[in-house]
Structure formats: C-alpha cells, structure tokens
Chains A and B, each alone.
Chain A
Amino acid sequence: MALIDTLIARRQKLLLIAALGFTMWQGGLLLNKMFPTDDTAHAIALAMTLTGAFQWAAFSIGFVHFSRKAKPEIEALNDELTRSNRAKSLMYGYMALLGAISLLFGLSTVLGQTRFPALNADFIIHGLLILAVVCPILCFFWLERSNA
C-alpha cells in the first residue's frame, strides 16, 4: 500500500476515534448533569467520561504522529476534493446546529412553558457543543469514505 493510501486510512481512523471519543467524553459529563443524584447514572457517566477522555487523548497523540508522517504528502492529502469535503462537512454541521436550535425554539413556542419544561441553559449549550463538534467530524468521515 502506498504511503498516501496508508495516510488516508489513518486519517479516517483518527476521525472516527475523535468523534467517538468526544461524544463519550462529553456525553458522560452531560449524563452526569442530567441525573446528578442517580448513582447508577453516575457510574455509567464516569465510565463513559473516562473511556471517552482516553480515546480523545489517543486521538490527540495520533494526530501529532499523523501530522509528522503526513508532511511529504500534505499537498495530496489536502487536495481540492478534501477541501471541498471539509467545507461541506462544516456546512452540514451548521445545518444540524441550526436544526437543533430551531427544533428547541419551535417546541418552546408551540408547546409553551406548561408542556415544554424549562431547560437548563448549561445542559442545552453542552448538548449543542457536542453536536457542533461531532457532526462535522462524522460528515467529513462519511464524505471521505464515499466515492472511494
């Protein structure tokens, strides 16, 4: 397998680790906020947070290693199809974020305060942050895998 193909495969693996790691790490913290007094939820949240944080650390180390290895092939790795896929991923991430905000806004407007419970701003912002980070990464992973 040529170096460029190895690097592309490694980048895809890193993207997946980053998305899963961030979701588990931040999802665990979010779960803890959802059920602050539940011991079972706390144990699951702790396991998720630790596993996710470990994955995120693995991704960070892997990314530094990848960046060093990628230097000779950086032009090809960052070619115009990749740049186009990256721009599309950011657009999909923005659309997902806008969709989530619109959904929450719509629910609060339609259902009103009586049937739509007041939500903790910290919880909602945390959830939206996870969506904003993970959605573009997964979209980029999917676009890079398609049409191969």
Chain B
Amino acid sequence: MPKQQAQSQLCNRLKEIRARHNFTQAELAAKVSVTRKTINTVENNVFIPSTVLALKLARALDVRVEELFYLNGS
C-alpha cells in the first residue's frame, strides 16, 4: 500500500487522549522514549508509527491501541 494512501486511511485520537490525561507532547514523548517532534508528527498524521511505538503509546495512555489508532471509515 502506498504511504500516502496509508496516511489518509490511518487516523488517530492521540491528541484528544493525551489532552484527557493532561500530558504535554514532551511529557508523553519522555514516557515512550521518543522526541516531542515524533509525537507531533504522529498527531498530525505526518508520520505513521511502528506497531511497537503504537503499543507503547497505548500503554502510556492506558488505552487499547484500537482506541488510539483506527482506519478511516471504520
């Protein structure tokens, strides 16, 4: 699947769930050992995280990975 197609299909609620937990991007980034920019690019759908990072984010935010990431239209 082309990357652009994957980017348009994959959506996330990272910003919303992060805000619910009162985490800043920097705080969440520190929890999952990435840079703030990585969190920012994931939130803005610029960068598609790996399964490992998606699972780490879900664990850090105490949600299931399907709540965090979902396919467009599902």
Contact = CB atoms under 8 A, between A and B. Distances in A.
* Binding partners A and B: yes
Given A2-B26, A84-B47, A147-B46, A76 B34 contact: yes
Give the size range of A's interface with the partner. 10 to 19
Given A2-B26, A84-B47, A147-B46, A79 B40 contact: no
A2 B26 CA distance: 9
Contacts of B38: 79-82
Contacts of B50: 80
A117 B36 CA distance: 52
B6 to A, nearest CB: 13
Contacts of B40: 147-148
Given A2-B26, A147-B40, A75 B47 contact: no
Nearest to A144: B37
Contacts of B35: 4, 8, 76-77, 79, 81-82
Interface of B: 26, 29-30, 33-38, 40-41, 44, 46-47, 49-50, 53
Interface of A: 2, 4-5, 8, 75-77, 79-82, 84, 147-148
Given A4-B30, A80-B49, 16 more contacts: A4-B26, A4-B29, A4-B35, A5-B36, A76-B35, A77-B35, A79-B33, A79-B35, A79-B38, A80-B53, A81-B35, A81-B38, A82-B38, A84-B47, A147-B46, A147-B47
